[in-house]
Amino acid sequence: MKFSTEYLWFNTRKKREYINITPEVEALVQKSGIREGMVLVSAMHITASVYVNDAEQGLIEDIDEWLEGLAPFKADYRHHRTGETNGDAHLKSLLMHHEVIVPITNGRLDLGPWQQIYYAEFDGRRRKRVVIKAMGE
């Protein structure tokens, strides 16, 4: 079995952004030489997420609005007593999860017809990373 590990780095311009990272993950899978297996894509920060969904702008805006409704930015999170002001970002990350596993078949990501891999940033404007670990033969 082969393993390949790479990192993607982000420093978003906005506090919340949704970035399609499918091309980068696909390129790293092809570079790994793994033909059959899986790839783990995981946000290495507790205020960011990785998810799979449609790459349609209206849906991305709906997701953002939904998350803001469930975990709105506000001043009175208990977490803010620590000096942080990102309690909402932690909750948004919990809702979206921090990682996905995608099959690799014939050396390519085996995604459904509309599926794309996204990095979601909820506390941006600082440097963060995602680990991509391909495993297989």
User: The whole model's pTM is what?
Assistant: 0.96
Reference 63, options 109, 15, 118, 130; nearest CA is 118
Residues whose CB falls within 8 Å of the CB of residue 44, separated by 6 or more in sequence, listed in order:
128, 129, 130, 131
Give the fold, CATH level 3, of 2-136. Jelly Rolls (2.60.120)
- Residue 117's pLDDT is 98
- Residue 120's pLDDT is 98
- Residue 19's pLDDT is 98
Contact 37, 98 (CB under 8 A): no
**Torsion-angle region of residue 62: left (phi > 0), alpha (psi -120 to 50) or beta?**
alpha
Task: For the chain of 137 residues, list the mean pLDDT of each consecutive stretch of 10.
Answer: 97 97 98 98 98 98 98 96 96 97 98 98 96 98
- Residue 59's pLDDT is 98
Contact 41, 52 (CB under 8 A): no
Whats the size of the chain, residue-wise? 137
Report residue 70 as tokens. Answer: 């469930």
Q: List 53's β-bridge partners, or say none.
A: 116
